[in-house]
């Protein structure tokens, strides 16, 4: 093991391993986000694309394709496709959530306007669609079309479910599978498909992406109540202020007495929030062990992701994908 491997984080090791491929993905993204006719498009897109996200999703596509022996040109197209879909959903999410910040920077809807975010999101979604058509595989198109529908359905479900105390863990999981896990699992599945991997390996890659995505979202939801802003870059209480019924709250509501239910109803369903409510909410989450139980769920999903790919042949990239699952939950371990 080199010094590099010891000190670098798993996603950095993955990025280093995929070096040339990820450079090609970034070049393709820059090329395709351009528009001859509408200069507003690259302005808005560059703001997001250059914002320094981890490029986790395209790395998953490149890694799974290579892991299954692919050495053709189209993994790069599919990786860029996945990043474009992700960026399009971020633009639309920020309009829907009326967000002012993402990754510590002002959102596009704040810098330009909601109109630009809606239409540039549509443009990126169309561009993603062109990229995947170029890859020329109807099976890949089917997977990505289904993933897109699942993402949109999850987002709409969240609109109605997020502020409804009747939302239980099953509905939560459905929302998370839509808004987060569907793109992770599509990213890993198409890697296997483009490589012509056997069905059971493709299934294993899908399961890995699905579980990794669920773990990723649960960690995000947990850190919103239990995180350290300096370390995670997330502000504690954003979900609370936006009245989102996330897993920790769902677990606390399930164990709430009458007074506590009245509290949750006021702050989440009615949105009547006062000073001190966030502290009280966190105290309730702690009283019922909701943060601990949420943490345990995230670890379970990360473990599930790791075991999903046990059946794949031994490979340096298989080990990196396992480490990545550990890394996703490392912030709460």
Residue ranges binding its own copies (CB under 8 A): 35, 37-41, 89, 92, 95-96, 114-116, 118-120, 122-123, 125-127, 129-130, 133, 136, 138, 141-142, 145-146, 148-149, 151-157, 159-160, 174, 178
Query: Is 51 or 118 the residue whose CB approaches its own copies more closely?
Result: 118
| Cβ–Cβ under 8 Å, residues 253 and 170 | no
| Cβ–Cβ under 8 Å, residues 91 and 124 | yes
Query: Is 155 or 277 the residue whose CB approaches its own copies more closely?
Result: 155
The answer for 89, left when phi > 0, alpha when psi is -120 to 50, beta otherwise, is alpha
Shortest Cβ 82–its own copies spacing (Å): 15
Query: Is 61 or 148 the residue whose CB approaches its own copies more closely?
Result: 148
- Residue whose tokens read 């995230």: 298
Alpha carbon 210 to its chain's center = 10
DSSP tag of 180: I
Shortest Cβ 86–its own copies spacing (Å): 13
> For the CA atoms of 310, 312, 318, 324, what is the dihedral angle to 10 degrees?
-50
Shortest Cβ 196–its own copies spacing (Å): 18
Shortest Cβ 268–its own copies spacing (Å): 17
Backbone angles phi, psi at 102, to 5 degrees: -145, 130
Distance between CA atoms of residues 246 and 240, nearest Å:
9
| Cβ–Cβ under 8 Å, residues 179 and 154 | yes
Shortest Cβ 72–its own copies spacing (Å): 17
Query: Is 189 or 323 the residue whose CB approaches its own copies more closely?
Result: 189
Query: Is 123 or 216 the residue whose CB approaches its own copies more closely?
Result: 123
Query: Is 122 or 228 the residue whose CB approaches its own copies more closely?
Result: 122
| Cβ–Cβ under 8 Å, residues 70 and 137 | no
Shortest Cβ 163–its own copies spacing (Å): 12
Shortest Cβ 315–its own copies spacing (Å): 31
DSSP tag of 267: I
Query: Is 153 or 260 the residue whose CB approaches its own copies more closely?
Result: 153
Among the listed residues 178, 206, 186, 32, the one whose alpha carbon sits nearest the alpha carbon of residue 93: 178
Shortest Cβ 119–its own copies spacing (Å): 5
Query: Is 129 or 165 the residue whose CB approaches its own copies more closely?
Result: 129
Backbone angles phi, psi at 73, to 5 degrees: -85, -15
**7: exposed, middle or buried (C-beta count within 10 Å: 0-12, 13-18, 19+)?**
exposed
What is the distance between the terminal CA atoms of the chain, rounded to a whole angstrom? 24
């Amino acid at each position: 093991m080199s010094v590099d491997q010891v000190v670098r984080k798993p996603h950095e090791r993955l990025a280093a391993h995929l070096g040339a491929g990820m450079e090609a993905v970034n070049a393709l993204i820059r090329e395709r986000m351009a528009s001859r006719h509408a200069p507003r498009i690259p302005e808005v897109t560059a703001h997001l694309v250059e914002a320094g996200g981890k490029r986790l999703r395209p790395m998953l596509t490149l890694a799974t394709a290579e892991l299954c022996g692919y050495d053709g040109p189209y993994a790069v197209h599919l990786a860029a496709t996945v990043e474009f879909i992700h960026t399009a959903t971020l633009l639309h999410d920020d309009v829907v959530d009326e967000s002012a910040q993402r990754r510590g920077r002002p959102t596009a809807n704040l810098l330009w306007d909601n109109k630009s975010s809606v239409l540039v999101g549509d443009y990126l979604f169309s561009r993603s669609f062109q990229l995947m058509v170029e890859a020329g595989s109807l099976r890949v198109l089917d997977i990505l079309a289904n993933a897109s529908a699942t993402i949109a359905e999850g987002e709409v479900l969240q609109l109605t479910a997020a502020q409804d105390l009747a939302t239980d863990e099953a509905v939560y999981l459905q929302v998370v599978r839509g808004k987060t896990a569907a793109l992770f699992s599509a990213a890993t599945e198409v890697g296997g498909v483009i490589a012509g991997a056997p069905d059971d390996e493709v299934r294993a890659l899908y399961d890995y992406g699905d579980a990794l995505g669920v773990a990723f979202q649960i960690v995000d939801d947990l850190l919103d109540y239990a995180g350290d802003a300096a370390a995670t870059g997330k502000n504690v209480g954003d979900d609370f202020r936006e009245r989102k019924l996330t897993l920790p709250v769902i677990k606390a509501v399930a164990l709430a007495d009458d007074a506590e239910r009245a509290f949750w109803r006021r702050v989440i369903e009615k949105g009547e929030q006062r000073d001190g409510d966030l502290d009280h909410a966190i105290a309730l989450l702690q009283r019922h062990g909701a943060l601990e139980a949420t943490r345990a769920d995230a670890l379970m999903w990360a473990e599930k992701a790791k075991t999903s790919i046990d059946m794949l042949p031994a490979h340096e990239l298989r080990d990196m994908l396992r480490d990545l699952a550990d890394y996703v939950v490392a912030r709460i371990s």
